[in-house]
Chains A and B, each alone.
Chain A
Amino acid sequence: MVKSYIPSSLGEALAIRAQESVIPYGGGTDLMIEAPDDASYLFVGKIPDIRKIAEEGEIIRIGAACTFTEITESSLAPDLLKEAVSRIGGPAIRNLGTVGGNIGNGSPKADSALIFFVTDSSLRLISNQGERILPVRDFYLGRKQTALRSDELIAEVLMPRTGLENYYYKKIGARNAQAISRVSFAALMNMSGGRIENCAAAFGAVSDVVIRRNDIDAMLTGKTIAEARALKASYLEQYDRAIVPITGRISAEYRKAVCMNLLRDFLESNGI
């Protein structure tokens, strides 16, 4: 019989992770779809250290084993994140599924990953050798490929505490519940002193990784709304070139049209 492990502490989990060839298991809602007989799991879903949500200075720390339901019920989690995770699957999936699992499977459809991209969040990866902080965009290497080392676990997501209030979020699924995203879009606009302090957009489920182009968004940094309006056409045109959807069961044309529509609507809803 293949062995699986139920560690009673984070330390024990990391020791096993370093020594054995195991699959970290948070909520199981991705892993249990295939569930091969010879899977050796490391059950980390109940370890308290990585199941907390806390505020620390300018950062919100979200434990990787937090379920989507716990995030929606937390007073500390940002509204943007709550909205995104509240649309994942149905209640039963949200009661089990974890942020760590959502990120860990490396899929561009991961609804929470989109939010971490648009907020330029970071991940705290730990091993029994130490830890490292990695920006989310550096964690995703390609389709279903992540930078997670074989001795590492995702411990936390580190999100900025402020600047997330003025957000735009839309998930396009095939129906109103239990729907995998066909297109997902999240964006932020922060003003300070009449100028755009931060404009961020991210597109999920359209390409191999979430599309996040800080360089294009930087076009609008420091501009007034009027100045941004003058740059609108160029901004959209650059995204039009940047968004090259893959064709799956849903056509690339559809995905592209929706992405551009939502991006335009985001700008217009901010007066641009």
Chain B
Amino acid sequence: MKFTLNGNGVEYTGALNARLLDVLRDEYRLTGVKCACKEGECGACSVIMDGRLINSCMVAMGRAAGSDIVTIEGYSKTDRFAVLDNAYASVSAVQCGYCIPGMILASECILAKNPHPTEDEIREGISGNLCRCTGYNAIVHAIQIASKEGSGLW
């Protein structure tokens, strides 16, 4: 089947019941997509599919047919990423880093939906991304900063 991956059209000929997470990591070598639970509970494997945040471990390849998928590798080339990246850097929101690619994509989806979210909306937007290191405050703060600094981009 065919789908779009980080802006490029690709043809997939493997099993349709294979996990998107595994295919992204093993076949397309996009190891920025992390696996931390494989049951849709932690968000480390988050990617953006058809403009929505999803857990790639919860998607069988057949479900992704015809879809547009963006991973952290693709997203990190964007201007929006640059703003989020600076924001995260300014408050040292990255600790061990394992939740971070998913968190960044979740941040994008929050701001894409509402460029000026409230703190509650931010916390809900990252509520499916578990972080064990930061206590979440710095991440929430980073998204608030990106919202201010990136006006016009979202």
Contacts and interface: CB of A to CB of B under 8 A. Distances in A.
Contact between chain A and chain B defined by CB under 8 Å: yes
Contacts of A178: 41, 127-128, 130
B117 interface: no
Among the interface residues A31, A69, A95, which one has the most CB atoms of the partner chain B within 10 A? Answer: A95
Nearest to A69: B52
Contact of B19 (A1, A32, A69, A89): A32
Contacts of A29: 40, 55, 58
Interface in B99-146: 106, 109, 124-125, 127-130
A92 interface: yes
A231 interface: no
A65 B125 CA distance: 23
A43 B62 contact: yes
A166 interface: no
Could you say which interface size class chain B belongs to? 20 to 34
Given A4-B62, A90-B43, A177-B127, A35 B17 contact: yes
A41 B60 contact: yes
Nearest to B51: A95
B106 A91 contact: yes
Given A33-B39, A40-B17, A91 B128 contact: yes
Interface of B: 1, 15-17, 19, 39-41, 43, 46, 49, 52-55, 57-60, 62-63, 65-66, 106, 109, 124-125, 127-130
The secondary structure that dominates the A interface is: loop
A156 to B, nearest CB: 20
Contacts of A37: 17
A93 interface: yes
B15 to A, nearest CB: 6
A40 B15 CA distance: 10
A43 B66 CA distance: 12
A73 B112 CA distance: 15
Interface in A19-76: 25, 27-29, 31-33, 35, 37, 39-41, 43, 45-46, 69
| In the A-B complex, the 10 residue pairs with the closest CB atoms | A90-B128, A177-B127, A4-B16, A95-B52, A43-B62, A32-B58, A92-B55, A90-B127, A92-B128, A33-B39
A27 B50 CA distance: 13
